């Protein structure tokens, strides 16, 4: 049997115990009720231990499918299903403010002192405090180019470079911290200090995706009203990366603090294989009704419902059908969470190798070009709103009109395909829902319907 201590940043004592039993089942129990918030909507504070299904649903999502995980599995002969065994080696820097460490090891995460706990990257570019203020791509220094080249070519850091904060995803990534003067730095080894930004570097044949996501993210911020992740581009040509500000961080009086967060899979107690509605089963599924339950658990349910609806509609307009349960999150700024900013805005309709089926149904529709007025009404009711009442219908029309106007501002020829996606999506939504909005001419974008690819 293996037992891990579970900590939140700032706690001197464990807040819970994570255990694996001889029969391979796992459990989690809180060791205190004096907490600023639970670790998950799916794991509310109580005396009784949580069983295998609930525990596995949350803690399995702390593990990333990356090279480091593969190395640990091979080196220590640990199976993919041994969640506690893997977290024994990989649990010191889990997402958000949580950490899982060997029993008795003590806390490992602590707030970072900007003046003490970080090592400056030589020749770092000056990163504006608000990434949206960046005019054009930021310059790449020699040291940063070395890191980015290795991430591009090998999806890992250069040899003998320690990853300060392992990250999930297909792209190569590195987590860094912006200092007060705008330069980038890495946490010192053993400091336990948090990072503030993530740099994502795609493989060479996907380099166009950097500007693509940058455009889509900034359009998301202008189409809908909820907060959106801040991004800017670093580098040019065949060596580019997207710098993303972490929304689960707070900087105050020279210190950087982690803010606890969880993605929707964790909040619903679902393993990451159930992040799409089409992968689930009744009772264990990410769908509109499940979203409604999460919105009910937030600090301001009414505000959260409308924000989620606007983010969903904006994703539909931007051709981002990959907004699955791990691309939505809750942020714990108090006892009850709030809806995290919109992030990972990727117009996957420009990728013809994947399905363009939506991650969850809108009413009965699986594809954006099938969504009708009654589907929007059913979706809103499922997430807990009153339905497509007149003010919301007007807001939908306004968002469609805004997206059309913004599509015209995209640079040509580089972003013409994204513009065509937006116009095509706006055309179908307007026509099917009866909004009667005039849409300029566009070149048709191929759509991969269910069954075309997975």
Q: Residue 166 has what pLDDT?
A: 56
| Helix or strand run (H / E) with residue 418 | helix 416-433
For 333-384, the DSSP string reads: SSSS-EEPPB-----GGG-TTS----SS-BTTBSSGGG--HHHHHHHHHHTT
Whether 67 has a pLDDT exceeding 90, the answer reads no
Q: Residue 20 has what pLDDT?
A: 94
Give the pair of three-digit tokens for residue 32.
């205190």
Q: Residue 454 has what pLDDT?
A: 43
Give the pair of three-digit tokens for residue 165.
């904060």
Numbered ranges of CATH 1.10.1070 in the chain = 260-433
Q: Per residue in 402-426, pLDDT tens?
A: 999 999 999 999 999 999 999 999 9
What pTM value is reported for the model? 0.94
**156: Cβ–Cβ under 8 A, 6 or more apart, which residues?**
67, 150, 163, 172
Q: To the nearest whole number, what is the mean pLDDT of the chain? A: 93
- At residue 453 the predicted structure's pLDDT band, cuts being 50, 70 and 90, is very low
Whether 135 has a pLDDT exceeding 90, the answer reads no
- How large is the average pLDDT for residues 205-227? 97
Pick the CATH number of 260-433 from 3.30.70, 1.10.10, 1.10.1070, 1.10.3470: 1.10.1070
| Helix or strand run (H / E) with residue 17 | strand 16-20
**Which class for 222: exposed (0-12), middle (13-18), buried (19 or more C-beta within 10 A)?**
middle
Q: Per residue in 159-188, pLDDT tens?
A: 766 665 555 555 688 999 999 999 999 999
- How large is the average pLDDT for residues 273-282? 96
Q: What's the half-sphere exposure (Cβ side, CA atoms, 13 Å) at 303?
A: 10
Whether 238 has a pLDDT exceeding 90, the answer reads yes
**306: Cβ–Cβ under 8 A, 6 or more apart, which residues?**
385, 392
For 225-270, the DSSP string reads: SS-B--EEEEEETTEEEEEEE-SSEEEETTEEEE--EEEHHHHHT-
- How large is the average pLDDT for residues 125-142? 93
Is there a contact between 313 and 283 (Cβ–Cβ < 8 Å)?
no
Q: Per residue in 14-58, pLDDT tens?
A: 999 999 988 889 999 999 999 999 999 999 999 999 999 999 999
Q: Which of 426, 425, 431 is nearest to 447 (CA)?
A: 425
Give the pair of three-digit tokens for residue 178.
């912006």
- At residue 94 the predicted structure's pLDDT band, cuts being 50, 70 and 90, is confident
Give the pair of three-digit tokens for residue 342.
């919109």
| Helix or strand run (H / E) with residue 89 | helix 83-90
CA separation for the pair 127, 426 (Å, rounded): 35
Give the pair of three-digit tokens for residue 275.
């992040």
Q: Per residue in 244-271, pLDDT tens?
A: 999 999 999 999 999 999 999 999 999 9
Whether 382 has a pLDDT exceeding 80, the answer reads yes
Q: Which of 200, 209, 210, 149 is nearest to 175 (CA)?
A: 200
């Amino acid at each position: 049997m293996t037992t891990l201590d579970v900590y939140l940043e700032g706690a001197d004592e464990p807040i819970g115990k994570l255990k694996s039993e001889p029969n391979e089942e796992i459990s989690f129990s809180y060791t205190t009720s004096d907490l600023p918030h639970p670790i998950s909507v799916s794991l509310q504070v109580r005396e009784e231990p949580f069983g295998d299904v609930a525990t596995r649903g949350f803690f399995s999502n702390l593990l990333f499918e990356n090279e480091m995980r593969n190395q640990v599995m091979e080196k220590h002969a640990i199976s993919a299903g041994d969640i506690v065994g893997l977290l024994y080696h990989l649990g010191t820097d889990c997402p958000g403010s949580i950490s899982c460490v060997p029993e008795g090891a003590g806390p490992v995460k602590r707030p970072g002192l900007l003046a003490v706990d970080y090592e400056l990257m030589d020749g770092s570019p000056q990163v504006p405090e608000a990434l949206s203020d960046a005019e054009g791509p930021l310059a790449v220094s020699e040291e940063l180019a070395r890191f980015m080249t290795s991430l591009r070519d090998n999806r890992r850091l250069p040899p003998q470079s320690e990853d300060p904060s392992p990250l999930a995803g297909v792209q190569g990534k590195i987590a860094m911290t912006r200092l007060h003067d705008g330069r980038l730095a890495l946490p010192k080894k053993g400091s336990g200090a948090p990072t503030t930004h993530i740099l994502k570097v795609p493989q060479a044949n996907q380099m166009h995706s950097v500007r693509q996501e940058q455009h889509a993210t900034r359009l998301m911020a202008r189409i809908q009203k909820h907060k959106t992740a801040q991004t800017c581009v670093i580098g040019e040509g065949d060596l580019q990366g997207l710098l993303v500000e972490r929304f689960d961080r707070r900087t105050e009086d020279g210190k950087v603090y982690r803010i606890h967060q969880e993605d929707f899979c964790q909040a619903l107690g679902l393993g990451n294989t159930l992040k799409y509605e089409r992968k689930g089963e009744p009772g264990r599924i990410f769908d509109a009704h499940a979203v409604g339950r999460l919105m009910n658990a937030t600090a301001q349910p009414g505000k959260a419902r409308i924000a989620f609806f606007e983010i969903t509609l904006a994703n539909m307009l931007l051709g981002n059908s990959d907004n699955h349960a791990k691309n939505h999150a809750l942020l714990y700024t108090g006892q009850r969470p709030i809806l995290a900013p919109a992030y990972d805005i990727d117009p996957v309709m420009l990728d013809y190798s994947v399905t363009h089926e939506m991650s969850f149904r809108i009413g009965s529709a699986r594809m954006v070009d099938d969504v009708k007025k009654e589907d929007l009404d059913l979706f809103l009711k499922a997430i807990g709103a009153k339905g497509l009442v007149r003010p919301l219908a007007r807001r939908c029309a306004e968002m469609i009109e805004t997206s059309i106007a913004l599509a015209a501002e995209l640079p040509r020829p580089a972003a013409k395909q994204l513009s065509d996606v937006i116009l095509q999506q706006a055309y179908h939504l307007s026509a099917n829902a009866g909004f009667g909005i005039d849409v300029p001419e566009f070149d048709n974008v191929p759509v991969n319907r269910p069954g075309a690819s997975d």
